Amino acid sequence: MRKLALPHDVLMRVEKPARYLGNEINAVQKTPLDDTVRFCMCFPDVYEVGMSHLGLPIIYDMLNRREDVWCERVYSPWPDLDAIMREREIPLFALESQDPVRCFDFLGITLQYEMCYTNILQILELSGIPLFAAGRTDKDPIVIGGGPCAYNPEPIADFFDLFYIGEGEVSYDELIDLYKSCKVSGKKREQFIKEASKIPGIYAPSLYKVTYNEDGTVKSYEATGGAPDKVRKVVVTDFAAAPYPEKPIIPYIKPVQDRVVLEIMRGCIRGCRFCQAGSVYKPQREKDLEQMLALARRLLGTTGHEEICLSSLSTSDYSRLEPLIRSLIEECNRRKINISLPSLRIDEFSLDVMKLLLDVRKSSVTFAPEAGSQRLRNVINKGLTEEEILDGAGSAFEAGWNKVKLYFMVGQPTETDEDLTAIVELCEKIAKRYYEDIPKEKRNGKIQINASSSFFVPKPFTPFQWASMQNEEEYLRRAYLVKDSFRITLNHKSLHYQYNDAKTSILEGVLARGDRRLSQVIYQAYKNGALFDAWTEYFDFEKWRAAFEECGVDIAFYTERKRSADEVFPWDFIDVGVTKKFLLSEWEKAGLAVTTENCRRECAGCGAARFKGGICFESKNQI
Amino acid sequence: MKARIRFEKKGDLCYVGHLDIMRCFQKAIRRAGFDIAYSQGFNPHQILSFASPLSLGMESEGEYFDGEFNSVLPASEMIKRFNEQLPKELKVTSFRILPENVKTNAMATLKACRYRVDFSYGSPFPGDLANLWDSFSSQSNITIEKKTRTSLSYVDIKPLLLSGICNGDSLTLLLRAGSDVSIKPASVLDAFFEYCGLPFSGEDAFRSGSIHITRLDQFTVVGDKYVSLGEIGEINE
């Protein structure tokens, strides 16, 4: 019988002990043999957040399909358990076997957001694995990172042996086969890492030498030990045939997202210039309709969840959305199952669907204009006009809704004060539309508009990777300007505005476009006590500010500095398909507020066609 | 029709809280494809009502919930299908159809719970457990301090301690429970430990793992007898 790593008295002292049990329904248990490759997949945040993520279950399922691999999970111990583990010297353990992570062959860490970087160090330290890759021996697991933040792995390069650039379905088999053969032939860690660097999508940071210019920018990358000069991301070309978990783990405690997630599409046809996902997941690829319906039925049967979510970057762009939803709705209504449709564009069809799915009195319709003025929406290439927003809102009001949510970004390139007050004007126009279109007796109470903004963070591999950020003072000035403009509106009692923490965005900005010199800063911040930085109640910018000072690293160098067109970026050695030349032309078009068509209407020649799949090879002009 | 389900909660599952166990059953019922009744309204939910929540960290052989079903299979088949969908530490042991005239649910009819307190992990007692228990429980009244936010009062718990039998290293306690008046086993142990001159509370001993507490069963009153909640209703063949 499996014995828990934590004794009774510890489990009784910590909040939500079920986070650490690992015996959930559909969790994979195996009896490991001598040559079983033990893989521990980590989401460096708390269990409920990690268990809501779609990517890890795909890899967990895929790896466990191999008889010679046992893939398990680990999440960040919450601060209460963290303190007990340090005090009692309890090593961090994988959930399924409850065995120490240090005994594993691989520790895979998913990098979903920059603010989890200190949690990576917590995982390593509690596991008893040296924090810096250079200090590891043959007894330590191979630490490999993947996920969106791996597209600029440099700030955390010193902590990782390998990074996986691209989609997990492609190269793991080859990597594990190589690991096994190295183990059999008695090859050392360094040799494995060297050979792994030749596998498509695998980046071994220790094999690359970086030199810097006098001004602090990157001068060059030099590959050594036979590693390729450029690491090209790997993508699934036959997306319909890609494996998908049919028996996902069902947690006991309620995860943030407690539902079946059906990935209907990967990548996005849109070319929003701020969006990293839009670039790095190109080309857009769809799953087959019949396959999705069959999978939906099976997943609802194997999980017993009450909700199914059709997941993608832009669900309205799935070409078979209407038949998919029409078929699902009937079955889900009968089985009392909710359908959740995130990232939906508001139009007649989606409102029809939403009326069937949601209680109009309680739910709200959501728009993400991202910018208030049409000029700025053209700069960011959002592809959404004011007319579309107002018509969408108008139709929603006709259908009975009176709650509207709007998402904006503040601090985007070329933004002026007029663009900021345009946020308020747009909200006012929506409110006006409600009072003009809907006669008093048909109104479902007052209109409620909730606008929220985040501060724009430029990301690698986007046209805005050249953009400068503002300092905290300027961000707050802009947010106050919006807030103050809301206060003097006619409908100010119905309009609500909130903005996020500027310090978090600034730190995210440093880490997103950072280089290898930041590994020391992250280490220092962790030593200063930074942990769970993605949690507002734990985030303490002062710990970070001190770390930057102690390491002599200037925040503004990464955030506010103007980047020239020919600057070598820390992530330039990675090839995501979309070319730097294309991104630069988009950056220049942004400056002129010139838009670019989406992939389905017209190929913009971004470079993703080299992957020979998806939308790049479908006929154009369908919309 | 309303059915009463009895289940065990053992092993590692004792660290899964009451609400999460409810969710676990809701999902198991969906996976099993049972013909459960749903509430009306925009967010229909299964009509289930659970009896007294079990303290975190405690195992149980006698937990209950009532569920409203549109149709059922024979009891043995219902039990089998439940257990195919549940982790082995959570096991349905009985399924009975409640009489039509039973209006109230398991929680509302609850009158007592039986617990076993296991001291086999190292007896903390200064003498023989059976003797100590006998003299403790034969007191004419057993007064404990009851602290609330604003006041401190003294309560005689003797009437709530329905019976206590010592058996080797363990005590079996039948304690009053229910929405009107109830007492936790740890509170009885507080008084017993104090009587024995032990420097820790029942709750401390339970949380540290030096004693194990298992709920054995839950009871209602029929006539003047305590009857197990699991004996109410009929087994449909």
3-state secondary structure A171-205: CHHHHHHHHHHHHHCCCCHHHHHHHHCCCCCEECH
Residues of A in contact with B24 (CB under 8 A): 25, 252
A133: its two tokens: 């890759």
A157: its two tokens: 């390069």
Q: What is the model's pLDDT at position A73? A: 98
- Looking at per-residue pLDDT, the higher value among B44 and A249 belongs to A249
pLDDT in tens, chain B (237 residues): 999 999 999 999 999 999 999 999 999 999 999 999 999 877 889 999 998 899 999 999 999 999 999 999 999 999 999 999 999 999 999 999 999 876 678 888 899 999 999 987 777 787 889 999 999 999 999 988 887 788 888 889 999 999 999 998 899 999 999 988 899 999 999 999 999 999 999 999 999 998 999 999 999 999 999 999 999 999 988
Per-residue pLDDT for A619 more than 70?
A: no
For residue B84, count CB atoms less than 10 angstroms from its CB and return exposed for 0-12, middle for 13-18, buried for 19 or more: exposed
Rounded distance between C-alpha atoms, residue B44 and residue B37, angstroms = 9
Per-residue pLDDT for A234 more than 70?
A: yes
Is CATH 3.90.180.10 the classification given to domain A259-517+553-611? no
pLDDT in tens, A181-230: 999 999 999 999 999 999 999 999 999 999 999 999 999 999 999 999 99
Residues of A in contact with B13 (CB under 8 A): 23
Is CATH 3.40.50.280 the classification given to domain A8-232? yes
Q: What is the model's pLDDT at position A1? A: 65
> How many Cβ pairs closer than 8 A exist between chain A and B?
68
Per-residue pLDDT for A623 more than 50?
A: no
The pTM (predicted TM-score) of the whole model is 0.95
Best probe of the A interface among B9, B15, B56, by most A CBs < 10 A, is B15
User: From the CA of B21, how many Å to the nearest CA of chain A?
Assistant: 7
Q: What single string gives the DSSP state of each residue in A522-564?
A: HHHHHHTT---TTSTTT--HHHHHHHHHHHT--HHHHHTSPPP
The domain at B2-107 falls in which architecture?
2-Layer Sandwich (3.30)
The domain limits of chain A are 8-232, 259-517+553-611
Rounded distance between C-alpha atoms, residue A558 and residue A162, angstroms = 24
A489 pLDDT tier (thresholds 50, 70, 90): confident
* Helices A472-487 and A502-512, axial angle in degrees (round to 10): 140
Residues of B in contact with A7 (CB under 8 A): 209
How much is the mean pLDDT over chain A?
94
Rounded distance between C-alpha atoms, residue A418 and residue A410, angstroms = 12
Residues of B in contact with A359 (CB under 8 A): 42-43
pLDDT in tens, A376-405: 999 999 988 999 999 999 988 988 889 999
User: From the CA of B47, how many Å to the nearest CA of chain A?
Assistant: 13
What is the predicted ipTM?
0.94
The domain limits of chain B are 2-107, 112-226
pLDDT in tens, A549-559: 999 999 999 99
Residues of A in contact with B209 (CB under 8 A): 7-9, 12
Q: What is the model's pLDDT at position B227? A: 95
Lowest mean pLDDT segment, chosen from A50-59, A232-241, A405-414, A614-623: A614-623
Is the CB of A21 less than 8 angstroms away from the CB of B15?
Answer: yes
Q: Does A593 touch chain B (CB under 8 A)?
A: no
Q: Does A316 touch chain B (CB under 8 A)?
A: no
Report which residue type is found at B199: P
| Residue of B56, B146, B126 lying closest to A19 (CA atoms) | B56
A302 to chain B: nearest residue by CA?
A: B31
A343 pLDDT tier (thresholds 50, 70, 90): confident
Q: Does B23 touch chain A (CB under 8 A)?
A: yes
- Looking at per-residue pLDDT, the higher value among B143 and A68 belongs to A68
CB atoms within 10 A of CB B140: 6
Q: Does B88 touch chain A (CB under 8 A)?
A: no
Rounded distance between C-alpha atoms, residue A272 and residue A596, angstroms = 9
Per-residue pLDDT for A620 more than 60?
A: no
